[in-house]
Every structure is written in C-alpha cells, then in structure tokens.
Structure 1
C-alpha cells in the first residue's frame, strides 16, 4: 500500500518536472517558431502568380508556367 503511494507520488513529480521542462523549451523556441510561421505566410500569399490570361490552345510556355518549370528551347 505504501509503495503504491510512493510510486504515484514519484510519477506525479516526474510529470511535473517534464511539464516544466517542456514549457521552458517552448519559451526558448517561440521566436524561431514565429519567424518560420511568418515566412510561411509570406510565401503562401506572395504575389508570384501569373496574372495574364491563357490562349485557347495550351502552348509549351503556358504549360511551363502551370508546372513551375523553366522552358528550355
């Protein structure tokens, strides 16, 4: 009976230390996470899309634009 109480106490203490350690680690990583998140938002909403229209019959140039590859002639 007493050993079970000790085991539960040690488990709760270990969980507390692990939680404290993970919170401290997250505080140190917060600036890096913010920077990555902002760069992802900038790249996702950047104005790099082609604004022009397309021809009725797809050309090699239009296909290269859609696929995001360079057209080597």
Structure 2
C-alpha cells in the first residue's frame, strides 16, 4: 500500500513539473508564434464566416466566392472552380454548402 502511494505521489510530482516546464516554454515561444501568425497569408483568415440568407444575393455570392461583387466572369469562374474542388461532396464535405456554392455562380 505504501509503495502504491509513493508511486502515485511521484507520478503527480512528475506531471506537475512537466506542466510547469511546458508553461515556461510556452511563454518563451509566444513572440515566435505571433511572428509566425503575422507571416501567414491574409487569405488564410479571410473566408466568409456569415450565415446564409434564404435567397442568394449577389453580395452573398461574392462573399462566398471571395471575389468583388463587380468581378468579371473569368474571376468568378476561377474562384467558383477552386472552392468547388475544395468542398466537393465526394471528399466528405457538406452537401448543403455544395448546393449554396452551386447557386453562387449564377
């Protein structure tokens, strides 16, 4: 019984020291993480996060495709193709999103 208590105590102490070490390292790495986030392309965080309107508007379609509402047909077609390939149902993506993407091209 005593050996079990000693083993549990040593395990808890080791976990505590490991957690303390991780927290120290995280504080030291914070500037590097912030710098790495700043170097990421802005498009990484620029996707449309809003909900869907019952009827697709030109503005909503442009937001979903990531183009300007006044973009020409070739830019719209290129953005539509790129997003359709990324969100294809055969890759296990959501079918409701696929249907909205189909509507966004028109």
Into which bin does the TM-score normalised by the smaller protein fall? Answer: 0.5 to 0.7
Which structure carries more relative contact order (alpha carbon 8 Å, separation 6+)? Answer: 2
Q: Which moved more, 1:16-25 or 1:34-43?
A: 34-43
Q: Deviations 1:9-63 (Å, cap 9, x if unpaired)?
A: 0000000000000000101100000011122154645xxxxx7635xxxxxxx7x
Higher gyration radius (CA)? 1
2:72 maps to 1:53: yes
* 1:20 alignment partner in structure 2: 20
Q: 1:32 to 1:24 in 2, by over 3 A?
A: same
Q: How many residue pairs end up in the alignment?
A: 57
Q: Which runs of 4+ in 1 moved over 3 A?
A: 41-45
CA distance in 1, matches of 2:8, 2:27: 29
TM-score under structure 1 length normalisation: 0.58
Structure 2 spans left out of the alignment, 5+ residues: 47-67, 79-106
CA distance in 1, matches of 2:23, 2:41: 25
Structure 1 spans left out of the alignment, 5+ residues: 46-50, 55-61, 67-73
CA distance in 2, matches of 1:31, 1:41: 18
TM-score under structure 2 length normalisation: 0.42
